[in-house]
Amino acid sequence: MKKILIGILSTVAIIAILIGGKIQMDKYRVKTIIHGEEGKAAIENMLKIMDEKALTPEGKIKSYQIDENYTHNNPMGGLIVRVIINDDPELDVETTLNKYPSRGKLEHGVIITSEKLSKLVPDKGLLSEEKGNEQDR
């Protein structure tokens, strides 16, 4: 009876360790992607689409930081990222970062801005690098 109980507890402990390790590996992967060169480039590109002078002294968006507590895997693929603008938690934008095989680079997807950020940087309509190619979508 003791051997069976020890076997069951050992199996449960091993499964728990494997699950915990997988969660930690996922967190590390997400962190390396969003803080890597490709992740920074995708986020900064998104900010420059919102404000052409972003990350310059003339721009309304002067700085950004990634909210580590909110960033996670998207069940549909890619990563969900929350970016805090100008060190103000009420100025935030959420987006997805995806790497499409056909394009080969990390790109932002849907952009959700806070109400305060929407007032600071008015919506320009189409938030795309391909401003003339609306029909392709």
- Structural domain harbouring 45: 1-120
Q: What is the pLDDT of residues 102-135, one digit of tens each?
A: 888 899 888 999 999 988 988 665 444 444 433 3
Q: Can you give the pLDDT at residue 125? A: 54
How many CA atoms, within 13 angstroms, populate the side-chain half-sphere of residue 132?
Answer: 0
Is residue 59 a contact partner of residue 66, using CB atoms and an 8 Å limit?
no
Q: What are phi and psi of 86, to 5 degrees?
A: 50, 35
Q: Can you give the pLDDT at residue 110? A: 87
Predicted TM-score (pTM) of this structure: 0.76
Q: What is the pLDDT of residues 107-116, one digit of tens each?
A: 988 899 999 9
Q: Is residue 133 part of a domain?
A: no
Domains contained in the chain, number: 1
Q: Is residue 127 part of a domain?
A: no
Q: Is residue 100 part of a domain?
A: yes
Is residue 87 a contact partner of residue 61, using CB atoms and an 8 Å limit?
no
pLDDT, greater one: 74 or 132: 74
Q: Can you give the pLDDT at residue 100? A: 82
Is residue 82 a contact partner of residue 64, using CB atoms and an 8 Å limit?
no
